Amino acid sequence: MYTSTELSKLLRENACKVTPQRLAIYSILASTKAHPTAETIYKKLHHQYPTMSFATVYKTVEILTELGIIQKLNTGEEAFRYDADISRHAHVRCLGCGRVDDIFDLDTTALEEDASTKSQYTLQGCQIYFQGLCPECAKKNQQ
């Protein structure tokens, strides 16, 4: 997570201009664990920046992803989600309500070694996505 000062510095160092929209979009992502989509980001900022377009959201998340300070998640839904937590962690999506949660601290060392041996690939990354029912939806389903 970066402060707006740190983000401004990083942008300038990479020949990108600092704009209110860019700071606001990063701020949204840094302050939530909900893994918003472009649409969610757009809606959250619409009252504050009524003229802001989807193009700006998409261009900004593209830049932030290239700077390596956010990550783009493909959870098997229609739209991509974005996450300002760039640490290696897995995700789980609730088939009931659609929420996507983090799962931290899974030990994937053995898995990756095994995959590397069996596939003969030079591995560079790994995404792990679980599906299931969140505690709330599991409870509702029992009733």
Partner DNA sequence: ATATCTGCAAATCGTTTGCATGGAA
Partner DNA sequence: TTCCATGCAAACGATTTGCAGATAT
Judged by the rule CB under 7 A, the positions of this chain that interact with DNA are 8, 11-12, 15-22, 37-39, 49, 51-56, 58-60, 62-63, 78-80
Which listed residue (10, 38, 67, 133) binds its own copies by CB under 8 A? 133
Question: In 47-108, where does DSSP find H-type helix?
Answer: 54-66
* Residue 53 interacting entry, from its own copies, DNA, none, C-beta within 5 to 8 Å by type: DNA
Instruction: Tell me: does residue 1 bind its own copies (CB under 8 A).
Output: no
Which range binds its own copies by CB under 8 A, 3-11, 42-50, 59-67, 127-135?
127-135
Q: Which is nearer to DNA, 27 or 108 (CB)?
A: 27
d(CA 44, CA 40): 6
> Phi and psi dihedrals of 117, rounded to 5?
-65, -50
Cβ-contact 59, 42 below 8 angstroms: no
Instruction: Tell me: does residue 79 bind its own copies (CB under 8 A).
Output: no
Give just the sign of the alpha carbon dihedral 55, 71, 102, 134: positive
